Structure 1
Amino acid sequence: MENIIKLNQKNLVEISTKITSPTYNRSEIKTGIVHVGIGGFHRSHEAFYTDLLLESEAQKDWGICGVALLDFDTKIYNILKEQDGLYTLIIKELDGSLTKQIIGSMVEVLYAPESPIKVIEKMASPDVKIISLTITEGGYNYNEATGEFNFENPLIQHDLETPSAPKTIFGYLTQALKLRKEKGLKGVTIQSCDNIQGNGHMTEKMLLSYVKVAEPTLVSWINENVSFPNAMVDRITPATSALDIEKLKETSGIDDGWPVVCEPFKQWVIEDNFAAGRPAWETVGAQFVKDVVPYEKMKLSLLNAGHSVLGILGALYGYSTIDEAANDADISSFLRIYMGNEVTPTLGDLEGVNLKNYKFSLIQRFGNIYIKDQIERICSESSAKIPIFILPTVYAQLENNRTINHAAFIIAAFAIYSVGVNENGSQLMIKDAMEAILTEKAILSRNNPAPFLEIESIFGQLKNSKIFLEAYTDAYQNIVKNGIEKSVKDINSTVLNKI
């Protein structure tokens, strides 16, 4: 392979002759945003929008300092550090073509475990107006059963005992906000970019719960100086594969250690509630609104839940990618019925949204054969995803005496999935913080399915609903007796309405 160019700032001029690259002078960009969590989604979404924005002369104060928070983020940190924060975004179009561009909005990169003080000081910099987060659903450290902050987490205990060398986002934010207060600085916006309904409210509640214990005198300053806008984020961004990296070398001659692949669709709806100014993201496609709730509820209940449905059923079928599951006629039919009969009645009025078109677009997006989103990735941390994506639909349907049969089937399939073996005898890789208890309860449920619902941190008091328990038990027993494929066909055949 000839003429392969290593991606970094020094080589950017030469690279720009091959693919679209930043035209702005990155050395002139001031860091206005600290973003924690520099994985694929941030780099296909907020960093992408910000890169578009930086092409405008008037928006030079909004560069991003990317923070790798966790010990196992060493690899991505080292790669992005070597590449001066640059990376390639590869958009996989529906026709199989690739749209590629270099993203330059991440002008600094820090590794928190190596330099906690540097990260705290950067968050407390007077230039920084926004601290944004992509820390996954599980990163918010709350107990689903109680809705409260989990102080039993050993990492939280560490942060309380060793505040100057924190390990969690709450430890970092607390020390940074304390330093901002001590410096007499103005406030800051903390912006969640995670798939949680009311993600701004959740961030505020969890942070204040921690601060009340760690630094109680800081609470009133946060209440007066820090804002927590809610936001809905959307762009399917699968894990980057070795094949993606090699294909980039072959087609563009660029050596990028960790490019990002994503779908063409993108959406970002943000509550306009910023304590210290904000970028004009609306000029590059974001939407600022007064109330994000209807949009995020729609997205979490349809797209994110849809992903979990395809992942769990697809895993039991023996599929390895989401597009395979989405293009299976029976699984697709199951998902359409679930979205149409069980989710849609819970969404209420969505002004300006053509819900039917949105649901059809989801089926098309899930079925994009070029994305190849791994089912293993989608099923990871399902214990944190199901309470957010699926259970609100269940509770709303039960409250209104409406059907929950397909949702109960999904939970039954999740229980069987959690044993760790599909019905073909193939091992399933369970990647979940609650793996031990999931497996234990799943095995106990083989003869009597009820014990799986006893995991209160996931299911709360759902086990006490006779209607749900009956539907769940029937579904579980049908899957065990008839196999997943016949069971999906059978439950679909009982329902006529779809989408």
Structure 2
Amino acid sequence: MRLSEASKDRLPGNVGVPGYDRSGALHAVHFGIGAFHRAHQAAFTDACNRAGNEAWSITGVSMRSATVAEQLNPQDGLYTLTVRSDEGSDTRVIGSVGEVLVAGPDRDTIVDRLASPECHLATFTVTEKGYCRAPDGSLDLTLASEGFYPILCEALVRRRDAGLPGLSLLSCDNLSGNGKQLGRLMREWIDAKAPTLRDWFAENCTTPDSMVDRIVPAPSADDLDALEQRIGLRDEGAIFTEGFTQWVIEDDFAGPRPAWEKQGVQVVDDVAPYETAKLRLLNGAHSLLAYAGLDHGHTYVHQAIADPKLRALVKRLMLEEAAPTIDAGEDQDLASYADQLVTRFENPALNHRLDQIAMDGSQKIGQRWLEVLAERNDRAGLCEAILTGIAHWLHHVSGQVRVVDDPRADALQNACAEASGAELVTTMFGKAGVVQSPWSPSDTETAFIIAQLRDLA
């Protein structure tokens, strides 16, 4: 029997269920309703609803695949969130998702939801590639036509014409200045496709920065089977995660929002220190573990961090290379954060796959590694950990060792096939390189990468 409104009372008493009115008078539309969103924003919103605040209902949008809609809609939007640790598993049912729509067949309904008077928020976890940026960082209008931009733009035109207030557009993706980037890219779309909307958008909509931190592996079939045995119901949309969770949001909203700060969310004036620390320490270390770990024969993060050589590289990356480039906030202790990250990586209950982290590297390594290298170009000493990571990434994207899941896979593999040595480094990271890079490799850095690549050959 599937989890649903009708069956939830069959759950054992140690599985918490939502007791609030799920019809929801206030609404948010979320683009990219994968595991990451369901372990973060939807969970915090569910906690607000349980606390007795005015309930919010989330309309989830899948941009391409109908998989999540097929998982959650037969379950009335309900799914379980299980926190895993060495001490066991704690499961509760999340009720904040009302429906899941798919951008193609449900496009008109999505526009209706965004244009309705009850909607106040549009939120995003579409991954780095979902922002449809060209290599120079501008909006690629051709790619963007298949993304969320035309849907959102049409809804905003309808809101303006109906005399409704604007929306808060809240990016929760791993981008430096994610809100600022979303605002800039949205304005580029508006300028090209609906120029009369520009002034209204500027005056009525906001795009706050945010940072979300929680490790959320993709669930396996074994995970779902074991959960069914434990709770007595089948949940095709189940999410498994760690106990740690953090969400930091810039206080810049156009209208109502859930009272997230009452459930532990930090609403601050400046997100940048938290965002930069997460990108350069957590995400930077994750990428290093992914590419180097796969080359060392590991499958999961907890296996890779247990490898003494990789553990030493991760600590060097975080403490010696990345941390000195971060202007920490008053309440941030970067050394303690790095220690905490190592402990989180060690969690064997998560089974966080390295190949999941390795996806879309061309969209990620710029802010995780290359910005650090650019800021440290005038400092003494090589960033050997990051440069080692780059060598493993080049080995990975060659396509000779494993399948490359990246939006620029063909260009990356062609570059690796046509160039080698110093020429390959220039082809990838030079001024007209395949990867947009703020960093210009020095001769010494290039030689170090080439030496590492020879060892991997």
* TM-score scaled by length of structure 1: 0.87
Indicate the residue corresponding to 1:236 in structure 2.
215
Q: Deviations over 1:198-253 (max 9, x none)?
A: 11001000000011000000000000000011001010001110011001011111
Shift of 1:133: 0.6
Amino acid in structure 2 at the alignment position of 1:219: R
Number of residues of Structure 1 aligned to a counterpart in Structure 2: 454
**Distance in 2 separating the partners of 1:90 and 1:285:** 19
**Distance in 2 separating the partners of 1:186 and 1:419:** 49
Choose the corresponding residue for 1:47, options 26, 29, 42.
Answer: 42
Indicate the residue corresponding to 1:21 in structure 2.
17
Matched, 1:250 2:242: no
Choose the corresponding residue for 2:93, options 93, 99, 102.
Answer: 102
Shift of 1:453: 3.0
Matched, 1:444 2:418: yes
**Contact 1:445–1:452 (CA under 8 A) maintained in structure 2:** no
Indicate the residue corresponding to 1:489 in structure 2.
none
Shift of 1:149: 1.4
Choose the corresponding residue for 2:77, options 85, 98, 103.
Answer: 85
**Contact 1:96–1:370 (CA under 8 A) maintained in structure 2:** no
Change beyond 3 A, Cα 1:290–1:478: closer
Shift of 1:320: 1.2
SS of residue matched to 2:119: coil
Indicate the residue corresponding to 1:432 in structure 2.
406
Indicate the residue corresponding to 1:69 in structure 2.
63
Shift of 1:24: 1.3
Change beyond 3 A, Cα 1:126–1:461: closer
**Contact 2:411–2:434 (CA under 8 A) maintained in structure 1:** no
Shift of 1:192: 0.4
Change beyond 3 A, Cα 1:318–1:445: farther
Choose the corresponding residue for 2:181, options 192, 196, 202.
Answer: 202
Amino acid in structure 1 at the alignment position of 2:437: G
Indicate the residue corresponding to 1:294 in structure 2.
273
Shift of 1:483: 4.2
Change beyond 3 A, Cα 1:18–1:362: closer
Matched, 1:211 2:190: yes
Q: Which moved more, 1:5-14 or 1:205-214?
A: 5-14
**Percent identity among equivalent residues?**
30
**Distance in 2 separating the partners of 1:8 and 1:447:** 57
Amino acid in structure 2 at the alignment position of 1:453: F
SS of residue matched to 2:435: helix
* TM-score scaled by length of structure 2: 0.95
Shift of 1:19: 1.4
* 1:59-458 pair list within 5 angstroms: 59-60=54-55, 62-70=56-64, 73-93=65-85, 95-144=86-135, 146-151=136-141, 153=142, 155-156=143-144, 159=145, 167-400=146-379, 403-421=382-400, 427-448=401-422, 449-450=424-425, 451-454=427-430, 456-458=433-435
**Contact 1:411–1:472 (CA under 8 A) maintained in structure 2:** no
C-alpha RMSD of matched pairs (Å): 1.7
Q: Deviations over 1:388-418 (max 9, x none)?
A: 2111111111144553332222212211121
**Contact 2:53–2:259 (CA under 8 A) maintained in structure 1:** no
**Distance in 2 separating the partners of 1:103 and 1:272:** 26
Matched, 1:9 2:5: yes
Q: Deviations over 1:305-337 (max 9, x none)?
A: 111010010111121111111111110101101
SS of residue matched to 2:201: helix
Amino acid in structure 2 at the alignment position of 1:64: I
**Distance in 1 separating the partners of 2:147 and 2:421:** 40
**Distance in 2 separating the partners of 1:246 and 1:387:** 38
**Contact 2:388–2:452 (CA under 8 A) maintained in structure 1:** no
Shift of 1:439: 1.1
Amino acid in structure 2 at the alignment position of 1:46: Q
Shift of 1:452: 3.4
**Distance in 1 separating the partners of 2:46 and 2:8:** 15
**Distance in 2 separating the partners of 1:36 and 1:474:** 41
**Distance in 2 separating the partners of 1:253 and 1:461:** 53
**Contact 2:68–2:100 (CA under 8 A) maintained in structure 1:** no
Change beyond 3 A, Cα 1:461–1:347: closer
SS of residue matched to 1:180: helix
Change beyond 3 A, Cα 1:457–1:222: farther
**Contact 1:149–1:209 (CA under 8 A) maintained in structure 2:** yes
Structure 1 unmatched ranges of 5 or more: 160-166, 422-426, 485-499
**Distance in 2 separating the partners of 1:475 and 1:138:** 26
SS of residue matched to 1:398: coil
**Distance in 2 separating the partners of 1:8 and 1:251:** 17
**Distance in 1 separating the partners of 2:291 and 2:37:** 25
**Contact 2:290–2:301 (CA under 8 A) maintained in structure 1:** yes
Matched, 1:476 2:450: yes
Amino acid in structure 2 at the alignment position of 1:10: A
**Distance in 2 separating the partners of 1:478 and 1:286:** 42
**Contact 1:143–1:457 (CA under 8 A) maintained in structure 2:** no
Amino acid in structure 2 at the alignment position of 1:263: E
Amino acid in structure 2 at the alignment position of 1:238: P
Choose the corresponding residue for 1:38, options 12, 33, 41.
Answer: 33
SS of residue matched to 1:227: coil
**Distance in 1 separating the partners of 2:81 and 2:328:** 35
**Contact 2:428–2:435 (CA under 8 A) maintained in structure 1:** no
Shift of 1:63: 1.5
